[in-house]
Amino acid sequence: MNREERKAKIELYGQGFEMLMEALITIPREAWKFKPAPNEWSIHEVIVHLADSETNSALRARLLAAEPGRPVMAYDQDKWAVALNYHDQDVDDALQMTKYARLTTYKWLKTLPDEVFDNTVLHPEYEKPYSFDKWLEIYAGHIPGHVAQIEANYEAWKFAS
């Protein structure tokens, strides 16, 4: 990824929380616990997942910058949703965690020299070394991908109601 592409990805990453809030503001809270299918997440579960994912990704980013070459932790997001009782967790707290993990990481990313983005770590879900550019590619699109999921859930809820 070149400097301009990276800069655009960092800006997209920085807009993620606003995108999430813009989507949520239009959806009534009574729709948030609706599951479109038994094995699919509700909006509530997506929000709590984002808090867990953002805190994990913020740590991965810092490991990429400070300790390249080391292994990082993988986790099974579906197991976390069940084992950590996502429906029982407070979504407002989860939104705050997401907001600040994303905000502090975004501000920090803008300060990094280009060469740091060549750093790699060992990620158990990838055969090849996992680069900082790969991390940025994934997490710049993470919230927008879940916004699409949230919007689809809302449409399914309206259809089912």
Q: What is the pLDDT along the chain (161 residues), one digit of tens a residue?
A: 899 999 999 999 999 999 999 999 999 999 999 999 999 999 999 999 999 999 999 999 999 999 999 999 999 999 999 999 999 999 999 999 999 999 999 999 999 999 999 999 999 999 989 999 999 999 999 999 999 999 999 999 999 88
- State whether residue 120 is helix, strand or coil: strand
Q: What is the residue extent of each domain of the chain?
A: 3-8+37-160
Residue 120, Ramachandran bin (φ over 0: left; ψ between -120 and 50: alpha; else beta): beta
Q: Which two tokens stand for residue 11?
A: 């800006």
- Say what the pLDDT of residue 161 is: 82
- State whether residue 121 is helix, strand or coil: strand
Antiparallel, parallel or unpaired: β 120-121 and 130-131: antiparallel
Q: Long-range contacts for 75-80 (Cβ within 8 Å, ≥24 apart)?
A: 77/49, 77/52, 77/53, 80/49, 80/52
Domain 3-8+37-160, second-level architecture? Up-down Bundle (1.20)
